[in-house]
């Protein structure tokens, strides 16, 4: 089976300093290719985040196949995939992630919503007949599964660290925050807000972020019929960013029933309510350069 899909697209590479974000999949629940989703994209959750060039992949939805194509000839030998949780729209791209089949890569897959258990058992089930014809090699040294508890800070061998937070969602999910040079990008999906006012824990988590990638599956009108499903609204995302002094909301995990025309309306509303905020688009690339920190003053 060819694990390099022909549906990949070329995006400009991310800079080697500061924070970089490339959106490979922005949709929730199920991929929705077609004429109505050409602008915002139909692939499910997958975002590449670079911290001073250091690669993180957040979620492994159907967008992961194209990201795998982008990485296949790249220099990265170590690839960390941080899963928000294991619902299918967040892992369905894994079997089609080319680097997974390259024994010269070290691939680590993290999950924080399983009470500290690793995602190995669930993912091995996914990679087994009759669900998928290729099994993961039990002895493969290049593949590791790591469990942690959402809320812990992940610390990596190269000194990198990533903050995490538990998210309200059926079965739990994990939010991630990437900091560099006084700037930060947070990924908060999948998540349902608790009520009209943002919660302190979430405000603290996204405080001062340049960008908050947020589960905005519903508009507030559509949410009323879907309360308790584990997803949030564009409006709750805006309220969270305002309370936390976060600069931009990236509405994410788009409702598969929202076509380009609907998302364009949401996009216009976002720009008006919070200039710089937007509906994330598949193929969108963003950079945040480091803020120059003041030189340290000699102590008195």
Sheet holding 143-147: strands in order across? 143-147, 106-111, 78-83, 54-58, 46-51, 19-25, 285-288
| 237 alpha carbon, distance to own chain's centre | 15
Say whether residue 267 binds Zn ion (CB under 5 A).
no
Q: Which of 80, 190, 210, 267 binds Zn ion (CB under 5 A)?
A: 190
Q: How far is the CB of 289 from Zn ion (least distance, A)?
A: 31
Give the shortest CB-276-to-Zn ion separation in angstroms: 25
Nearer CB in complex with Zn ion: 147/181: 147
Nearer to Zn ion, 87 or 248 (CB): 87
Q: Which one of 48, 89, 192, 282 is in contact with Zn ion (CB under 5 A)?
A: 89
Query: Which range touches Zn ion (CB under 5 A), out of 35-43, 85-93, 101-109, 129-137?
Result: 85-93
- Please state the closest distance from residue 230 (CB atom) to Zn ion, in A: 6
Taking the least distance from each CB to Zn ion, the nearer of 51 and 213 is 213
Q: Which segment (35-43, 81-89, 139-147, 266-274) binds Zn ion by CB under 5 A?
A: 81-89
Which own/partner pairs from 122-129 qualify as long-range (CB within 8 Å, at least 24 positions apart)? 122/86, 123/86, 123/91, 123/94, 126/91, 126/94, 126/95, 127/94, 127/95
Instruction: Assess 87 for contact with Zn ion (CB under 5 A).
Output: yes
Within 10 angstroms of residue 300's Cβ, the number of other Cβ atoms is: 3
Stretch that binds Zn ion, among 34-42, 82-90, 117-125, 278-286 (CB under 5 A): 82-90
- Cis peptide bond upstream of 190, omega within 30: yes
Closest C-alpha among 152, 173, 146 to residue 252: 173
How many chain residues interact with Zn ion (CB under 5 A)?
A: 4
- 129 in helix, strand or coil? coil
Q: Find the shortest distance in angstroms from Cβ 87 to Zn ion.
A: 3
What are the percentages of helix, strand and coil residues in the chain, rounded to 5?
20, 25, 50
Alpha carbons within 13 A on the beta-carbon side of 56: 28
CB nearer Zn ion, residue 46 or residue 143: 46
Nearest distance from C-beta of residue 28 to Zn ion, angstroms: 5
Contact 15, 35 (CB under 8 A): no
The owner of tokens 């879907």 is: 226
- 3-class state of residue 35 by DSSP: helix
Q: CA dihedral in degrees (34, 40, 42, 47; nearest 10)?
A: 160
**Contact between 63 and Zn ion (CB under 5 A)?**
no
Q: 89 or 235, CB closer to Zn ion?
A: 89
| Least distance CB 261 / Zn ion (angstroms) | 23
Of the candidate spans 111-119, 156-164, 185-193, 197-205, the one that interacts with Zn ion by CB under 5 A turns out to be 185-193
Positions in 112-171 near Zn ion (CB under 5 A): none
3 state SS of 234: helix
Residue from 18, 20, 25, 28 touching Zn ion (CB under 5 A): that is 28
Binding site for Zn ion (CB under 5 A): 28, 87, 89, 190
């Amino acid at each position: 089976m060819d694990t390099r899909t022909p549906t990949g697209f070329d995006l400009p590479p991310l800079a080697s300093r500061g924070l970089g974000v490339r959106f490979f999949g922005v949709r929730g629940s199920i991929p929705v290719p077609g004429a109505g989703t050409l602008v915002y994209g139909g692939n499910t959750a997958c975002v590449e985040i670079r911290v001073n060039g250091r690669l993180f992949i957040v979620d492994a939805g159907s967008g992961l196949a194209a990201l795998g194509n982008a990485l296949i000839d790249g220099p990265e030998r170590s690839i960390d995939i941080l899963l928000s949780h294991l619902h299918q729209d967040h892992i369905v791209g894994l079997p089609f992630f080319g680097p997974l089949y390259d024994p010269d890569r070290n691939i680590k897959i993290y999950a924080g919503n399983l009470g500290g258990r690793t995602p190995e058992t669930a993912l091995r089930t996914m990679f087994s007949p009759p669900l998928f014809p290729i099994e993961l090699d039990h002895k493969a040294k290049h593949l590791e599964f790591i469990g942690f508890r959402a809320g812990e800070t992940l610390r990596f061998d190269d000194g990198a660290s990533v903050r995490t937070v538990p998210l309200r969602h059926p079965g739990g999910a994990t939010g991630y925050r990437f900091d560099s040079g006084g700037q930060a990008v947070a990924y908060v999906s999948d998540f349902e807000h608790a009520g009209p006012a943002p919660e302190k824990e979430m405000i603290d988590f996204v405080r001062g972020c340049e960008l908050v990638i947020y589960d905005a599956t519903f508009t507030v009108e559509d949410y009323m019929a879907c309360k308790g499903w584990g997803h949030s609204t564009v409006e709750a995302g805006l309220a969270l960013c305002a309370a936390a002094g976060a600069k931009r909301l990236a509405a994410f995990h788009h409702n598969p029933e929202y076509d380009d025309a609907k998302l364009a309306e949401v996009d216009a509303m976002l720009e008006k309510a919070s200039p710089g905020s937007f509906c994330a688009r598949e193929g969108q690339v963003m950079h945040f350069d480091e803020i120059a920190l003041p030189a340290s003053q000699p102590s008195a």
